[in-house]
Structure 1
Amino acid sequence: MIRIAQQNDWVIFLIVGCIFLYVFMLLSLKRDSTVKEFLRQKFPDSVNNFLSWVIISVVFCVLFAAFISPFIPVVPEKVQAFSFFGFELTKFGFALATISGLTLVRSLFSYLFYAGTGSLKKWELFYFTASKFYFCASVGLMILCLINFYFTLNPFKAFGIYTSIFFLLFIFKLLFYFLHANNVLPAKWYYKFLYICTLQIVPLIVLWRVLFF
């Protein structure tokens, strides 16, 4: 049997493109800030927070979709039935569309949640703080993508290890939101509980259900 080597050059192109986006963000939007300066930047001293948050969200969605795409068992037939100019969605395209759509919906409902609970003043502070977490997480995803696509690993063991890593990362994110000095969550405890359940846990369950079942 002739084994055709899998071409993973597209992963490198994605990572390089994401790095260029971050360089643009730091040099242009953040006024020649270094990574360390960006992560340590205080809210009153920050600029272009919304645009930076959008760029970081795009980079995270692209990298996460690339990373998780090899583990998706199959693209659903209903999704395959849709084509764009004769092109069908690959596993990466399916993952990217799902993650991007879910991220957009969650961001919209997060804004409505902050507005509905009288915490709209904290909304900009929230995505300013969250952008730092997702920036670090996306850098980690770059490394995981390289390991996942360019090193020979047992897929079942790797999936178990990656699932554990992302579970711990999810728990860390919740603690990061709860304990951060910026106090980004609504003040009342039941609003915090409602946010965690509806806008953190539920989207994760939906993502798992769509991609893997």
Structure 2
Amino acid sequence: MVRIVENKDWIIYTLLGISFLYVFMFRILLREISVVKFYTLKEEFVSNRFQTWVISSLGLSIVMSLAFSQFMPIIPKIFGSCAPFGYQLNKFGVFWICMVALFSVRSVFTLLFFLSIGEVKIWGSFYYVAAKYYFALSLVLMILVLVQNFLLPDGSDMLYPYVVVFGFSFVLKNLIYLFNNLQILPSEWYYKILYICALQILPILVLWKFLFL
């Protein structure tokens, strides 16, 4: 029997594309500051914070699609007949579309949440902290994607490390949101719990059920 070896060059090209995005982010948008300064500088001394958040969100959505799409059991029926420009979506494309939808919808509802409680002034601080988290998590996942696809003989064993890393980072992110010194969430605890449950935990559970169960 002839064994067909999967061509994984596209994974390298995708990771290089994300790397070029981050190089552009640091050299142009952040005006050549170092990664260390990115995490230590105060918010008011960092330029183009919104654009940085958009790029880090895009980078994380792509690398998460690389990491988790391989473990999807099937493509959901809603995407089965979807063929934009004549191309059938694969698991990576489906996962990435879902990630972009998740990030976009959650961002809109987060802004509406801040507007509804009269705390829109902390929106800028919120997405600045989120950009730092997205960038750090994407770097970790990029390393794991390389390990999975080019160093391990059986990449299917990486599901559990991915889940552990994502679960730990998800808990850490919410703790940062709750206790950050920039006070990126309202001071009232019932608003904090409402945000964490409705716009952090619930969307992840819905996405997991839609794609994996």
TM-score per shorter chain, which class? over 0.9
Counterpart of 1:199?
Answer: 199
1:104 aligns with 2:107: no
Q: How far off is 1:105 after superposition?
A: 0.3
Counterpart of 2:64?
Answer: 64
Equivalents in 2 of 1:45, 1:124: separation in Å?
A: 13
Equivalents in 1 of 2:177, 2:97: separation in Å?
A: 26
Letter in 1 for 2:103: T
Counterpart of 2:24?
Answer: 24
Equivalents in 1 of 2:77, 2:116: separation in Å?
A: 39
Aligned partners of 2:76 and 2:210 also within 8 Å: no
Equivalents in 2 of 1:136, 1:205: separation in Å?
A: 22
Moved more, 144-153 or 185-194: 144-153
Letter in 2 for 1:189: W
Counterpart of 1:121?
Answer: 121
- 1:1-213 equivalences in 2 (<5 Å): 1-150=1-150, 151-153=152-154, 155=156, 157-213=157-213
Letter in 1 for 2:154: L
Aligned partners of 2:26 and 2:33 also within 8 Å: yes
Give me the CA root mean square deviation: 1.1
Letter in 1 for 2:71: F
Unaligned runs of 5+ in 2: none
Which whole-Å deviations, capped at 9, do the CAs of 1:6-26 have from their partners, x for residues lacking one? 111111111111111111111
Equivalents in 1 of 2:25, 2:118: separation in Å?
A: 31
Q: How far off is 1:153 after superposition?
A: 3.3
Letter in 2 for 1:158: M
Which whole-Å deviations, capped at 9, do the CAs of 1:11-61 have from their partners, x for residues lacking one? 111111111111111111111111111121211111111111001100110
Letter in 2 for 1:17: G
Secondary structure at the counterpart of residue 73 of structure 1: coil
Equivalents in 1 of 2:14, 2:89: separation in Å?
A: 17
Letter in 1 for 2:159: F
Q: How far off is 1:170 after superposition?
A: 0.9
Aligned partners of 2:26 and 2:34 also within 8 Å: yes
Number of aligned residues: 212
Equivalents in 2 of 1:159, 1:31: separation in Å?
A: 37
- TM-score by length of structure 1 reads 0.96
Q: How far off is 1:76 after superposition?
A: 2.1
